[in-house]
Amino acid sequence: MALLEIRNVTRRFGDFIAVDNVSISIEAGEFFTLLGPSGCGKTTLLRMIAGFDLPDSGQILLDGKDMVNTPSEKRPIHTVFQSYALFPHMTVADNIAFPLRMAGKTPDEIKSRVREALDDVRLSNFGNRFPEELSGGQKQRVAFARGLVNRPRLLLLDEPLGALDAKLREEMQIELINLQKDMGVTFVFITHAQNEALALSHRIAVMNQGNIEQLDEPSRIYGFPRNRFVADFIGKISMINAQVLEAAPSHLKLMVAGLGEVTAPSKEGVRVGDTGVMAIRPEQVRISHHAEETELKNHFLGKVQGFLYVGDVTTYIVELSNGASIEALLPNSAPGRAKFFEAGDPVAVSWRHDAGIFLND
């Protein structure tokens, strides 16, 4: 039996449907992420799991028991808030002790559990500090410790890394993965940052306009996006209009106007004559100076339009002969070199026959 089961949950605010008949089941020990742009319904869904809000219809079951009539304080579910929500008038130790006190633990047990929790988040010497005396990352760790100290069945995390700078965020991501592994607590994580979701999660539900667009493992979400929204929202992807010429069990043959035939991996439900896009990730596109040594089926000529240097890699934007543009990513393996191609260079781009993906309109 799943630990948490969300069954046909709908929540409306006036005419606006924030969560539209959503069903998810989350297993014990999982690191589950709700990913989507702001306003997609992920926060509303989280608030209903926590008990701050109630669904208009549907059920939320924890260990098979419907939670709708259980108030927030009686649910074995704790939340880490985006603003951390530490109690400003209590010390770090008192903040962490709070859920234990509410659960009626003995003073001795509280003391030792708080010490353990402080050790777990490497804040052993900070117990007597007040939250305002801590840095953002330290506050964040106190919030994790407070959420985990009473071993909830489920920990909800509402964009907890949103307020941290990029470097610290990466450190906290690693810390979060370790915490979750060590504690064995099930995490439901909310974020709009797709790279964070990919890095942390066992499974991701991509949400848009109150619906789940795709629910899968990170590598499948990235590699096999189910529709254009998911493809576009997760990572970078180039899309070229195409029509299906041939739909074989082993591959698809697509016609791209002004360019020619493209081979793509086969996909269920695609029929000859379907229109849509051929989508391909920049790192799957090979770019080279004219010389054609390639045995790859998909190869075309183009011209470098521009590039984006970000240090480790450079993305080249190539205009194909039919006017469509495609991005190709190249690691900057030669030290001190920002680019291997100049804008205006004629180039050849190619990709494997099983690299792209066809997405119906």
Partner 1 sequence: MRRSNIWLWFAAVPVYAFLYIPLVIVVVYSFNDSKLNAEWVGFTLSWYKALFNNHEMLTAARNSLIIAVSASFCATILGTMAGLAIHRYKLKFLPVLVFTPVAMPEILLGVALLLFFLQVLNLTLGMISIIIAHTTFCIGFAAIIVRARLQGMDESIFEAARDLGASPWQTFRLITLPLIMPAVVAGGLMSFTLSIDDFVITFFTKGVGEPILPIQIYTMIKVAVTPEVNAISTLLMLLTLTMIIIASKLDSSVLRRGTK
Contact 351, 284 (CB under 8 A): yes
| In the complex, least distance from residue 53 CB atom to partner 1, rounded to whole angstroms | 10
72 touches partner 1 by CB under 8 A: yes
Q: How many CB atoms lie under 10 A from the CB of residue 184?
A: 9
160 touches partner 1 by CB under 8 A: no
78 touches partner 1 by CB under 8 A: yes
54 touches partner 1 by CB under 8 A: no
Give, as one character, the DSSP assignment of residue 282: G
CB nearer to partner 1: give 32 or 84. 84
Contacts of 65 (CB under 8 A, 6+ apart): none
50 touches partner 1 by CB under 8 A: yes
Binding mask 117-156 for partner 1 (x = CB under 8 A): -----------------------------xx--x------
Contact 153, 186 (CB under 8 A): yes
Using the structure block, give the residue that is written with the tokens 């709009």: 192
Give a three-class secondary structure readout of 41-91: CHHHHHHHHHCCCCCCEEEEEECCEECCCCCHHHCCEEEECCCCCCCCCCC
98 touches partner 1 by CB under 8 A: yes
Indicate which single residue of 68, 103, 174, 343 sits in contact with partner 1 (rule: CB under 8 A): 103
Contact 31, 60 (CB under 8 A): no
CB nearer to partner 1: give 104 or 323. 104
Size of the residue set binding partner 1 (CB under 8 A)? 24
Distance CA 108, CA 66 (A): 34
52 touches partner 1 by CB under 8 A: yes
Q: Which residue type sits at 317?
A: I
14 touches partner 1 by CB under 8 A: no
| In the complex, least distance from residue 118 CB atom to partner 1, rounded to whole angstroms | 17
Residues forming contacts to partner 1 in the complex (CB under 8 A) are 50-52, 71-73, 77-79, 81-83, 85-89, 98-99, 102-103, 146-147, 150
